[in-house]
Amino acid sequence: MTSKSTRSSETSAEIETSSHIPVHPLYTPADVKGSDYETEIGYPGEYPFTRGVQATMYRGRLWTMRQYAGMGDAEESNKRYKYLLANGTTGLSVAFDLPTQIGMDSDHALAAGEVGKVGVAIDSIEDMQRLFDGIDLTEISTSMTINATASILLALYVAVARRQGADIRKLSGTVQNDVLKEYIARGTYIYPPQQAMRVITDMFAWANENVPDWNTISISGYHMREAGSSAVQEVAFTLGNGMAYVQAAIKAGLNVDKFAPRVSFFFNAHNNFLEEVAKFRAARRMWARIMREHFKAKNPRSWMLRFHTQTAGSTLTAQQPENNIVRTAIQALAAVLGGTQSLHTNSYDEALALPTEQAARIALRTQQIIAYESGAPQTIDPLAGSYYVETLTNEIEKGSAEYLGKIEVLGGMLKAIERGFVQQEIQNAAYEYQRRVDSQEAIVVGVNRFEVEEEKAIPIQRIDPTLETKQVERVRALRAKRDAGAWKAVLAGVEEAACSGANLMPRIVAAVEAYATVGEISDAMRRVFGEYKEAVVI
C-alpha cells in the first residue's frame, strides 16, 4: 500500500488545481481524516448543508433552468423570452444594457452607441411593460442582473405586475443588487459604498413586507471569477461580501432572521470539474457556520446558502467556438453535482456576439440533457464520500477561511475593498493564470494547442442599429406626454427620502408609476449621495 508521504514525494513536479491546491495521484481515508476542517458528511437538508439545502434535492424538484437574455429594445427581448419559454426554460433572466446599469437614460450623451448593445434598454415603466408583454409575472420566476439601479428595476417590475392586476406578494425572483462586487470587479457602480449599502438595506426592509418571496440580493462571486480570481478567492470574497451585507442590515435595525432567508448567491462554474463541485459544497458549509455562529441566526433557513450558477463566460473562446458547447456541458454538470438551485448555460457563440436563437437553444438543451438523460439528478450529492472531493471541500474551506481572517484584520470587506486588497489579489491570480497560458503550462484547447489554420465562420447575432434611435424617440415622447407636476413631486420625494433617511423604496415605486425614468430617479439620488470615484493607486 502506498503511504501518504510516498505519494507526496511522487508529485515533486506539483500538479495543482486552479486554486493551487496540490493534487495527489491517489486519495485514501487518511486524506479526509487528517483535515482540520473535517466534518461529518451528514445529510442533505440538515446543518451545515454540505450535501445540499433541500432534503430531496432534484428528486423533489429540478433546478430552475434560466437563459440570460436581453438585447436591443424591450420588444426584441420579449420575443427571445417567449422563444425560450416555448423551448422549456423554467425561469427568465434579464440582461440590461450599460446605460440602464449605471442609471443613464437612452438619450444621455454618454449612452450613445451603447443602447441595447449588451442587454435590453429600460428607461421607463412603458419599456418594462413591453418587456413582459404577454407573460404572467406571477407564473414565472424572474432574475434581473442589475446592481446600482436594482431598486429602480425592482420598482418597475412591481409596478408592471400591478398593472397586470397581480398580487405583488406572489411575485418571485431575484435582483442581483450586489454593488460591492462592482467596486471589486465590474465598475457599474453609481454611489459611494456607504450610500449604496443604504439603498440595499432599504430594499431588504421594503421587500420583506411587500414581496416576501423575492430574493433581494444575489451575492455574486461570478464576476470576480470572470475577472480572474481562483475558486478559493471566489468563495472567500463572495462570503466576505455576504457578511458585509448582513452586518449592514443588522446595523440598520433589521432582524437577521427576517431578511437572511431571502439572501441568495451567484457563483461561477469553471473548468476544473471536481474543484468546482467541491467549491459549492464548501461555500454552503461555510455560510451555514457564519450565519449560525457569527451572526447568531436562529432560523435554519437563515443558515442556508441558496445559489444560482452561470457557466464561465471567460472560458469561452472565439477560436473553434463549437468547443464551447463541451466546456459549458462540463461546467453545468459541476453546478448540478454541486447542488445549484438555478442554472444558466452560456451559448457557444458568446465570445463573438450576443447569442443567436439556435445557440441559446443548444445551451438550454445542455441543461435538459443533464436533467433528463444523464442520471445525475437521480440521487442526492452523488460525489459525497469521494476521498478526493471531500479533501478538496476541506482545502477550499481552509483557504477561504484564511482569506476571511485577513479581511477581518483589515477591518472588514468595505475596508479591504477601499484599500484595494481584494482587487489586487484577483489581479495577481489573473496575471498568474495568463502567464501559465502564455507558457503553455495551462492548455486552452484551440488557443495555445490543437489550433486549426482556417475556421468556418458561424452566424452571429447582430443588433439592429436603428433600435437605438427608436429607443431615444420613445423616452423623449414619454417625457413630453406625462404630467409634469406629478413628475416633479415624485422626484422631490425621492430626493427628500435620500436626505432624511426614510426608506427610499416607496418613493421610487411612486416615481416609476408617475413615469419618472431610470436616469431621472438615479440623478435624484446622485444629487444627495454623490458619485463614487475609484482612487487611482500609483
In this predicted model, what pLDDT tens digit does every residue of 238-257 receive, in sequence order? 999 999 999 999 999 999 99
Tell me: do 418 and 481 sit in the same domain.
no
Q: Is residue 378 part of a domain?
A: yes
- Contact yes or no for 429/293 (Cβ under 8 A): no
Q: What is the pLDDT of residues 356-401, one digit of tens each?
A: 999 999 999 999 999 999 999 999 999 999 999 999 999 999 999 9
The residue type of 465 is P
Q: Is residue 524 part of a domain?
A: yes
- Contact yes or no for 538/521 (Cβ under 8 A): no
pLDDT computed for residue 334 by the predictor: 98
Q: Is 186 helix (H, G, I), strand (E, B) or coil?
A: helix
Closest alpha carbon to 363 in 346, 382, 343: 346
Mean pLDDT, residues 276-282 taken together = 98
pLDDT computed for residue 9 by the predictor: 44
Q: What is the pLDDT of residues 80-125, one digit of tens each?
A: 999 999 999 999 999 999 999 999 999 999 999 999 999 999 999 9
| Strand residues in 38-168 grouped as ranges (E) | 64-69, 91-95, 141-145
How many other C-beta atoms are found inside a 10 Å radius of the C-beta of residue 480? Answer: 8
The residue type of 402 is E
pLDDT computed for residue 40 by the predictor: 75
Closest alpha carbon to 145 in 266, 47, 230, 33: 266
Between the two ends of the chain, the Cα-to-Cα distance in Å is 56
Tell me: do 313 and 403 sit in the same domain.
yes
Decide if pLDDT at 7 tops 60.
Answer: no
The residue type of 311 is T
Q: How far, in Å, are 79, 107, 481 from residue 476 at the CA level? A: 24, 8, 9
Q: Is residue 5 part of a domain?
A: no
Tell me: do 189 and 315 sit in the same domain.
yes
- What's the rounded Cα separation, in Å, for the pair 178 and 423? 16
Q: Is residue 1 part of a domain?
A: no
- Please provide the DSSP assignment of 223-290 as one string: HHHHTT--HHHHHHHHHHHHHHHHHHHHHTT--HHHHGGGEEEEEEE-S-HHHHHHHHHHHHHHHHHI
Tell me: do 363 and 491 sit in the same domain.
no
Query: Exposure of 526 by Cβ count < 10 A (0-12 exposed, 13-18 middle, 19+ buried)?
Result: middle
Tell me: do 193 and 249 sit in the same domain.
yes
Decide if pLDDT at 12 tops 80.
Answer: no
Tell me: do 327 and 290 sit in the same domain.
yes
* CATH number of the domain to which 88 belongs: 3.20.20.240
Backbone dihedral region for residue 498 (phi beyond 0: left; psi -120 to 50: alpha; all else: beta): alpha
Tell me: do 339 and 477 sit in the same domain.
no
- What's the rounded Cα separation, in Å, for the pair 231 and 226? 11
Mean pLDDT, residues 503-524 taken together = 98
Tell me: do 150 and 223 sit in the same domain.
yes
Mean pLDDT, residues 225-244 taken together = 98
- DSSP secondary structure code for residue 185 in this structure: I
Q: What is the pLDDT of residues 302-360, one digit of tens each?
A: 999 999 999 999 999 999 999 999 999 999 999 999 999 999 999 999 999 989 999 99
Q: Per residue in 57-89, is it b (16+ CB within 10 Å) or e — as a string?
A: bbeeebbbbbbbbbbbbbebbbebbebbbeeeb
Closest alpha carbon to 214 in 163, 279, 133, 155: 155
Tell me: do 434 and 470 sit in the same domain.
no
- What's the rounded Cα separation, in Å, for the pair 23 and 20? 9
Tell me: do 89 and 167 sit in the same domain.
yes
Q: Is residue 398 part of a domain?
A: yes
Q: 429 is written with which cell numbers?
A: 491570480
Indicate the pLDDT class of residue 478, thresholds 50, 70 and 90: very high
- Number of structural domains the chain divides into: 2
Tell me: do 428 and 476 sit in the same domain.
no
To the nearest whole number, what is the mean pLDDT of the chain? 94
Q: Which domain holds residue 92?
A: 47-438
pLDDT computed for residue 457 by the predictor: 87
pLDDT computed for residue 6 by the predictor: 41
Q: Is residue 272 part of a domain?
A: yes
Q: Is residue 498 part of a domain?
A: yes
- Contact yes or no for 53/382 (Cβ under 8 A): no
Decide if pLDDT at 286 tops 70.
Answer: yes
Closest alpha carbon to 289 in 297, 405, 241, 396: 297
Tell me: do 422 and 474 sit in the same domain.
no
Pairing mode of beta strands 307-311, 64-69: unpaired
